[in-house]
Structure 1
């Protein structure tokens, strides 16, 4: 059994070309859950190509934000603070002066990242946020676009940085979209990473997340979680056409502006860059990543330890994130492990899904403190909308469905969400839920008691083996739950005392 992990608060201050952001995380193993997240769109890089200097107004806004952040960090007693600055500060002639002033105001060392470092750290952040990522990480900031190849083993080769942020191409602000496309295409021709045969682009950056938010609105997508949101080629073209249409449709422009807020000023550029990158790389899909530079910075110093953590059985951001989000105690973790061993015989043996089954068992107690009449629905929404990383949207839907079914065999997903997930997972979720429900009611959610009993299947029967002397544990309710599970599996039920 893994020992309970104690969360530690750690902060990252990210001074970008467009935004200045503070995120305070609760870090547990390979998981980092945001505790406080605030940004100011200072626009430090605005006007940089023409003047070679940071925006004076942006500097004023950035310094005010940094002083506020220091007060918040002091008030919360957060001492682990890492501060970084990216393209605008490294490129501006007054960047070093700004960095010294910012470090003084923050009371912490400020590191100016090179383009290569920025790409590597963004890639590390993506690595923490996805299970076995494989593709190209593209991080679009205010002044630059970084590419980094990523594989399940980690980053691969050298990354690239290109002057493709909206502020870097500021002279084209009044240009037609076609002219801006040509300028973007010209820059991308120098990319060697886009000439590979990778199928997936991991899109990092606020502007690309804003695009995904617009696409969600277009599709009336009911699950408003950006991390892991997928867009294929048709979806990319559709959202780009919509953004282009805002140039001539004031009503549409007002609607999109209401969705993305101040990102509206740069969203046309972000759309054109995504469209050109998608075509140049021959990608099949885009996955939106809420993880990026800041999470990479957070785990940078412990990268070796992080990967060792993620290589151990079930040691990844999904499992650690579940433990952290639900604040599981040692006894709950022990029950989750015992429950996983109990239900394994009735579940598919697919290796890649074992981490999901383990996570579901750790989630099985999450509705215990809700009102009995609402446990299923509350637990379902809790898991569906959780900040846990390391899962796709389809996997998130499966886990939420199974968790709801764990509290009642009659559970039905709310209608707005029935369009989500894999059809083949509906039955699996019911079986998972019924099996977890059986294990919980037999044992009273006690790991030692659950180890007294096991499930096994013969050709046509589901058998519950009970250790000698434990027959009194098989109550009428236990028999009822066991028969419900057998019905879901289309099998006969049999209770026996193991020899």
Structure 2
């Protein structure tokens, strides 16, 4: 794994039609960690459709924000600052004048993205953050909507359309019926939308994230993590249809919707509803990654891009927070025989989740023992990593929880997370938790032991070899924890103490 901070922080300034944002990442690597994130809703594109120019107040607010962002990037010692601007700056008559002012303030060239470039960077953001993405990407901003097809890491059918929330409000005069006609007319010209039928639709943009956050609240969803939040198509269509008929006054009383987002929510819901009716996807998948992360991904080497973002993020956490990252990797190899025949055989996706769980197994060892399980559960369930869906995230959190609390105990939060996994995944999480507990009794989380104390199946028995010089590590607690693991695998436990070391078959 590439070490972080070899090159120093990287800042991205995104000048959008509705918001201006600064994100500073710790490094340009496969799984970058944001160390600072600030957004100012300026509304630059509020009046472009009617006046052809950037909003005067929006320009003033944006330039003020950019002065602050420049100082923050310098304070955080960003080695590189990338600045991009999207639809509003691209289309406005006074766009070039505004860009020149922004460049003087930031001391950097501003790249004004074409619509195609916006779509491609949004798609790269999805590839960077969603494992094996396959579907259409939609990035809804204040001024435009970008659509692009992603399949097998390849991009096609990219288009930009003037259907952003602020643009629709301006062009329709705030009339939802007229806005619906504008949207339907635009989508009727895209005969290739049917390629999205039965596939996922990846939704990017603050308005769609606000819609998803509201859906989480309405459904009492157990996990408050926005990235990779999935809403099945029928449910998403009903919810979007409900929201696009709401008035500003009815939305004002909903705490989950900020006042700044209130005016664009119905229009974002309208675009989503009409798009779904044309495309007929199987589900809406919300992404917090978009053009900024796509920009970083585009800077990476082919070797770095090929890395798994989930494993990279978990390996970093293991390095920073575990007693030994090497032991975590050894734990991954040590548990592998449990998931071969005649045990529960893994799919490739289950293998990567097991590897991630091993890397996360010791990250809260410094916490007080009475709170270690709850802290680990929270840290993993709400961790700032990507490349995993919500059932996978719940699996990782539960495996970490069972490692610290035992495989029987459940508290309120862990019980809520159980709702997100199926019975097979829950059993795997318990098996891993039990394996981690048994392994810890002989390693004390230190490296160099597990490669010499392998597991194997023999008939109806689960065998654990403790050859010399590890024979003295055997004890009552080791036996109890190993018995729990064997029982979960429907096997009789046998610890072979002092036997000559033998590699497990397979």
- TM-based fold match above 0.5: yes
Kindly indicate whether the alpha-carbon contact (under 8 Å) linking 2:4 and 2:26 is maintained by their aligned counterparts in 1. no
Alignment of 1:35-184 (within 5 A): 35-152=35-152, 154-169=153-168, 170-175=170-175, 177-184=176-183
RMSD of aligned alpha carbons: 1.9
Larger relative contact order (CA 8 Å, sep ≥ 6): 1
Which has the higher mean CA deviation after the structures are superposed, 211-220 or 315-324? 315-324
- Matching of residue 365 in structure 1 with residue 362 in structure 2: yes
Q: Work out the CA distance in 1 between the residues paired with 2:189 and 2:500.
A: 68
Q: Work out the CA distance in 1 between the residues paired with 2:320 and 2:273.
A: 43
Partner of 1:292: 290
Q: Work out the CA distance in 2 between the residues paired with 1:476 and 1:309.
A: 46
Q: Work out the CA distance in 2 between the residues paired with 1:451 and 1:353.
A: 22
**Given the alignment, which residue of 262, 266, 280 partners 1:282?**
280
Q: Judging changes above 3 Å, is the alpha-carbon distance between structure 1 residues 101 and 77 closer, same or farther for their aligned structure 2 residues?
A: same
Q: Work out the CA distance in 2 between the residues paired with 1:297 and 1:193.
A: 26
Q: Work out the CA distance in 2 between the residues paired with 1:367 and 1:39.
A: 31
SS of match in other structure, 1:434: helix
SS of match in other structure, 1:368: coil
Q: Work out the CA distance in 1 between the residues paired with 2:426 and 2:222.
A: 18
Partner of 2:325: 333
Kindly indicate whether the alpha-carbon contact (under 8 Å) linking 2:317 and 2:363 is maintained by their aligned counterparts in 1. no
Q: Work out the CA distance in 2 between the residues paired with 1:349 and 1:179.
A: 53
Shift of 1:392: 0.3
TM-score (norm 2): 0.92
Q: Work out the CA distance in 1 between the residues paired with 2:191 and 2:54.
A: 30
Kindly indicate whether the alpha-carbon contact (under 8 Å) linking 1:202 and 1:286 is maintained by their aligned counterparts in 2. yes
SS of match in other structure, 1:447: coil
Alignment deviations for residues 193-238 of structure 1 (CA, whole Å, 9 cap, x no partner): 4131441100011111111011111101121111000111222133
Alignment deviations for residues 471-496 of structure 1 (CA, whole Å, 9 cap, x no partner): 11223222221111112222110112
TM-score (norm 1): 0.93
Regions of 4+ moved over 6 Å: none
- Matching of residue 308 in structure 1 with residue 303 in structure 2: yes
Partner of 2:494: 494
Q: Work out the CA distance in 2 between the residues paired with 1:233 and 1:34.
A: 31
Partner of 2:311: 319
Q: Work out the CA distance in 2 between the residues paired with 1:112 and 1:189.
A: 28
Q: Judging changes above 3 Å, is the alpha-carbon distance between structure 1 residues 216 and 322 closer, same or farther for their aligned structure 2 residues?
A: same
Shift of 1:260: 3.4
Shift of 1:469: 3.2
Kindly indicate whether the alpha-carbon contact (under 8 Å) linking 1:376 and 1:411 is maintained by their aligned counterparts in 2. no
Q: Work out the CA distance in 1 between the residues paired with 2:481 and 2:28.
A: 35
Kindly indicate whether the alpha-carbon contact (under 8 Å) linking 1:332 and 1:362 is maintained by their aligned counterparts in 2. no
SS of match in other structure, 1:13: strand
SS of match in other structure, 1:216: helix
Shift of 1:4: 5.0
Alignment deviations for residues 390-433 of structure 1 (CA, whole Å, 9 cap, x no partner): 00000000000000111132331524433222232111110011
Shift of 1:286: 0.6
